[in-house]
Amino acid sequence: MALRYGLSIAIVVLATALLLLIRVGIGLEVANISLGYIVAVLLAAITYGLGAGVVASVAAFLAYNFFFVEPLYEFTVANRQDVTRLVLFLVVAIITSSIAARARSQAQQARHRAEVQEALYELSQMISIEVEAAAILPIIAQQIVRLLGVDGCMIVLFEGGVPGTTTAGNAGSEGTAVVTPLRIGDRTLGMVRVWERPAQIAGPEARRLLDTLARQAALAVERTRLADEATRLQIVAESDRTKSALLHSVSHDLRTPITAIKGAVSNLLDESVVWNDAAEQTLLTTIDGEVDRLNLLVRNLLDMSRIEAGVFVPPTELAMLEDVIGPVLYRLRRITADRPLTVDIPTDLPFIPMAVPHVDQIFTNLLENAVKYTPPDTPLTISARVVNDTVQVDVADAGPGVPAAERERIFDKFYRLGAPETSSGGTGLGLAICKYLVEVHGGTIWTHPRVGGGAIFSFTLPLRRPLP
């Protein structure tokens, strides 16, 4: 305040010096000199406000009397006309400063209103785009400090889901604390606390602005709550859909082997029938194969549940690829017996860091998938080679192949191609588990067409141990 008054007096001093030079140089009349002081008073009022304008008016009055009204260099007046002239000058100067200060104030208010409107528009745009209140609340707190000119702001939330306290400026500083609640309907979500200097936001316009910004903050918090609730409901709906799909798929895939096992066991237990060794061996082979099928189904389901729970991390050891493929082919000999099977594994293939049981499962799922989706008597090929720092394994068939539009989706959970009549169905989990197991090893898996027809499922295993 004192600085503004001092600067307004400095303006009058500069005007006096300039007017003295002009009077000496061109002989300016005393009546015209008063106009120069009016300009100085206008400048002080427009620049520093009404108080500075009044101070400049008084200073100009005194300077005008001292330097330009007879007798010079004295604060006395020689005749009554000069007294009238001086009094009128003071009145005009004060009125002029008041008008200028009012215009300045109105211009400042207009700029402030435009700034507030722009800030509110930007906040509304952010709230409509940004879901997280944690990203919006700090900006609202900063806008409160900037637009209201308060010392500090703190936004405190009573509900979870977002940070509990957001501050801006010198929150907690000395001064009067003004509290405004954050409300949506009848619910109070939190509060906005600002620290103000005396009478800083006492006016109704400032309080309305604070209430408006508080409503913006409440809307941001409510939007976050609604988004979280929508996400939760979506997860629940997705979980229900997954459970329904799983039950639908598993019920069929469990029923088929159980029915076969039940039929074979019932036949063996039927005392009215005498089975020869060959027939008995056929029934026992059927039971053995269907039990293996049940075991694979249950293992896939258990592994997928562990994968989704985030607790599935297979250990790694150095192993030879042929040591994994051999047991898989022996175990699947019943379903591959009617197919030409070629295995092309180089003898100099290096040891590979892997979790043997899970690479075993990758091969098992890929071979069962190939048998399921290809006609009988069509050939299968397993090959491997070193590519850069990985071993690439290819499992190729001569079936109908995979349409280009399906080559990404077949690795999704529960997704199955339209199975032919020869297919025995499936849960749609086999390839999804293969994808996860390969990626856990640090590799990739994909499918591409085979020259001459069919599909090739390829995956890579790094020759270096993947980082944990």
pTM given for the model: 0.46
Looking at residue 144, what is its pLDDT?
80
Query: Are 441 and 312 contained in the same domain?
Result: yes
Domain assignment of residue 335, yes or no? yes
432, 445 Cβ separation under 8 angstroms? no
3-class state of residue 56 by DSSP = helix
Residue 325 or residue 141, greater confidence: 325
Instruction: Report the length, in residues, of the chain.
Output: 468
27 shares a domain with 142: no
Is the pLDDT reported for residue 169 higher than 80? no
What was the pLDDT predicted at 300? 64
Q: Report how far Cα 119 is from the mean position of its chain's Cα atoms.
A: 22
Backbone angles phi, psi at 318, to 5 degrees: -80, 125
Burial 268-303 (b: 16+ CB within 10 A, else e): eeeeeeeeeeeeeeebeebbebbebbbebbeebbeb
In the chain, what percentage of residues exceed pLDDT 70? 77
Tell whether 276 is covered by a domain: no
Counting Cα atoms < 13 Å in the Cβ hemisphere of 434 gives 27
Classify strands 380-387 and 341-344 as parallel, antiparallel or unpaired.
parallel
| Element housing 180 (H / E) | strand 176-184
pLDDT band of residue 31 (cuts 50, 70, 90) is low
Q: Span 195-211, mean pLDDT?
A: 69
Element (H, E) at 23: helix 2-26
Q: Do 29 and 139 reside in the same domain of the chain? A: no
Specify whether the CB–CB gap between 11 and 40 falls below 8 A: yes
What is the rounded distance in angstroms from the CA atom of residue 316 to the CA atom of residue 440? 10
Task: Tell me how many domains the chain contains.
Answer: 3
Residue 341 CB coordination number (10 Å): 14
Pair 64, 33: CB distance under 8 Å: yes
Task: Kindly state the DSSP code that residue 292 receives in the 8-state scheme.
Answer: H
Whether residues 94 and 142 share a domain: the answer is no
Q: Are residues 327 and 443 in the same domain?
A: yes
pLDDT, greater one: 172 or 282: 282
Rg over CA atoms, the chain: 44
Average pLDDT over residues 6-18: 83
- Beta strand segments in 208-360, E: 317-319, 341-344, 352-354
Q: 392 in a domain, yes or no?
A: yes
Whether residue 250 is predicted with pLDDT greater than 80 in this model: the reply is no
77 domain-assigned: yes
**What's CA 206's distance to the chain center, in Å?**
33
The type of residue at 269 is L
Q: Is 126 contained in some domain?
A: no
| Higher-scoring residue by pLDDT: 384, 45 | 384
Query: Which of 173, 200, 231 is the last residue in one of the domains?
Result: 231
Distance CA(453)–CA(35), nearest Å, equals 101
Q: Is the pLDDT of residue 163 over 60?
A: no
* Residue type at position 467: L
Same domain, 97 and 146: no
325, 427: one domain? yes
Residue 284 or 103, more confident:
284
- Residues 83, 149 share a domain: no
Q: 156 is in which domain, residue-wise?
A: 132-231
Structure tokens at 405: 């539009």
Domain co-membership, 59 together with 96? yes
Question: At a CB cut-off of 8 Å and minimum separation 6, what does 52 contact?
Answer: 4, 5, 7, 8, 44, 45
C-alpha to C-alpha distance for 262 and 245, rounded to whole angstroms: 26
- Residue 258 is encoded by which pair of tokens? 């159980």
Least confident residue range of 14-23, 112-121, 326-335? 112-121
Averaged pLDDT of the chain: 78
- Give the whole-angstrom CA distance, residue 405 versus residue 245: 22
- Domain end marker among 213, 231, 249: 231
Q: Which CATH number fits the domain that encloses residue 429?
A: 3.30.565.10
Look up residue 187 and give its two tokens. Answer: 């619910």
Work out the angle at residue 268's Cα, subtended by the Cα atoms of residues 263 and 271, and round it to the nearest 5 degrees.
120
Amino acid identity of 317? E
pLDDT confidence of residue 466? 54
Average pLDDT over residues 342-355: 92
Q: How far is residue 79's CA from residue 76's CA, in Å, rounded to a whole number? A: 9
Pair of tokens at residue 437: 């197991």
> Please, which pLDDT band fits residue 312 given cuts at 50, 70 and 90?
low
467 close to 448: Cβ distance less than 8 angstroms: no
Are residues 142 and 212 located together in one domain of the fold?
yes
Of the three residues 192, 207, 231, the one that is the final residue of a domain is: 231
Is 144 part of a structural domain of the chain? yes
Whether 292 maps to a domain, the answer reads: no
CATH of the domain at 222: 3.30.450.40
Same domain, 149 and 85: no
Looking at the DSSP assignment, which residues form a beta bridge with residue 391? 386, 461
DSSP 188-251: EEEEEEEEE-TTSS-SHHHHHHHHHHHHHHHHHHHHHHHHHHHHHHHHHHHHHHHHHHHHHHHH
pLDDT at 160 over 60: no
What gap in Å lies between CA 387 and CA 369, rounded to an integer? Answer: 25
Please check whether residue 324 lies inside any domain of the structure.
yes
How does pLDDT run across 93-109, given as a tens digit for each residue? 677 777 777 777 777 77
Average confidence (pLDDT) over 448-464: 93
Q: Do 320 and 424 share a structural domain?
A: yes
Assigned token pair, 103: 């215009």
